[in-house]
Amino acid sequence: MKMSFRWYGESDPVTLQYIRQIPGMTDIVSAIYDEPVGEVWPAHRIAALKSTIEAAGLRFEVVESVPVHEDIKLGKPSRDRLIANYQQTIRNLAAAGIKVICYNFMPVFDWTRTELSKTLEDGSTCLAFSTKEIDEIDPNNGIALPGWDSSYKPEQLKALLAEYREVDEARLWQHLEYFLKAIIPVAEECGMKMAIHPDDPPRPIFGLPRIVKNRDDLARIVGIVDSPANGLTLCSGSLGAGPQNNVEALVREFGGMGRIHFAHIRNVKITPEGDFEESAHLSSCGSLDIAAIVKAYHDTGFTGYFRPDHGRMIWGETGKPGYGLYDRALGAVYINGLWEAMDKLS
Ligand code: DNO
């Protein structure tokens, strides 16, 4: 396996040099964040990002994410042009040596939380989700969620949500199928592994359908195009926030099939109602048995990329919630420690 760390580019207070100082850290996960969604990522910009990362002594083989334009998820006529652009981005990334592309198929909202800075007993802060609070929000009246990046003006959001009224789960599945059938052959051709990220949290929000939330959804996705290029980002914290999901079993099933290319390791403390707060990575700190999950990767001979996902804010650090240096670095070292023990002591 390879250990990676997400880096948000030059504006990220967590520098490449700090990341490199984490024991066992070899790989950077990044993206071109300011390229408009739907446009082709230009080869020269990919090359520039890669050389910045390599100059810091790290590798750049995983992109998270190449976002999927809403028109593709909505199945609008413009999707063919946008899919052609996506195909070209896959080719450009492959030509630069990128091996894995993480993406998601969540309508309108990517990951969603109701609190970005919940204070825990020990004084650290974390991201948290309350089902009740989410269900009380009517997105047509504007979203007042913390961290909601207001990519859309209120009127635009309203119009977009109106378009989704026609798109139920069945339609969204058709649109995902159309997309996969178009991009996976291109990925295969150029040696790229596509890795869909699960819905976070794994449940519908604001009445929008979500179709990447449990074992059956994942099985259906990998079956749509039966190719190793059509794989998964298995995010323990996203799937594990759903009490219905057994993450260890998912790793054994889909890892055993060689379909997990990217492993996000995050722990969460969940309630039966589906509320959760994000905890430190160590098994004893949350509801997920991270040791058992990492063992499942080890047992299935995982050779892909691990990434310690969201950490708490600790030791007075400030910055992008979930993406500070310290707690994620502890997570990386913990995962590396588990792996080394499994390698050497079993
Ligand atoms: C949140 C992340 C997501 C993820 C995308 C993948 O912190 O896990 O934003 O990158 O959903 O496409």
Q: Are 113 and 146 in contact (CB under 8 A)?
A: yes
Q: Tell me, what's the pLDDT at 247?
A: 98
Q: Is 64 in the pocket of ligand 1 (CB under 6 A)?
A: yes
Q: Tell me, what's the pLDDT at 148?
A: 65
CA separation for the pair 310, 317 (Å, rounded): 14
Q: What is the pTM of this model?
A: 0.97
Q: Tell me, what's the pLDDT at 149?
A: 60
Q: What is the greatest pairwise CA distance in the chain?
A: 59
| Residue 158, both tokens | 């309203």
**CA dihedral defined by 217, 223, 226, 227, rounded to 10 degrees?**
0
Q: Is 218 in the pocket of ligand 1 (CB under 6 A)?
A: no
- Those residues whose C-beta lies under 8 Å from the C-beta of residue 67, and which sit 6 or more positions away, are 37, 103, 104
Q: Are 14 and 36 in contact (CB under 8 A)?
A: no
**299 noted as active-site residue:** no
Report the CATH number that the domain containing residue 69 is assigned in CATH: 3.20.20.150
Residue owning the nearest CA to atom 3 of ligand 1? 111
Strand order in the sheet with 125-129: 115-119, 125-129, 276-279, 267-270
Q: Tell me, what's the pLDDT at 157?
A: 86
**285 noted as active-site residue:** no
Q: Tell me, what's the pLDDT at 46?
A: 98
pLDDT under 50: residue ranges of the chain: none
**197 noted as active-site residue:** yes
Domain that holds residue 123: 2-345
Q: Where are the alpha helices (DSSP H) in 169-246?
A: 169-190, 215-224, 236-240
Q: How many domains does the chain have?
A: 1
Q: Tell me, what's the pLDDT at 260?
A: 98
Q: Tell me, what's the pLDDT at 240?
A: 97
Q: Tell me, what's the pLDDT at 272?
A: 87
Q: Which residue has the tokens 């990676």?
A: 4
Give distance in angstroms: CA of 345 to centre of ligand 1: 34
Q: Tell me, what's the pLDDT at 141?
A: 78
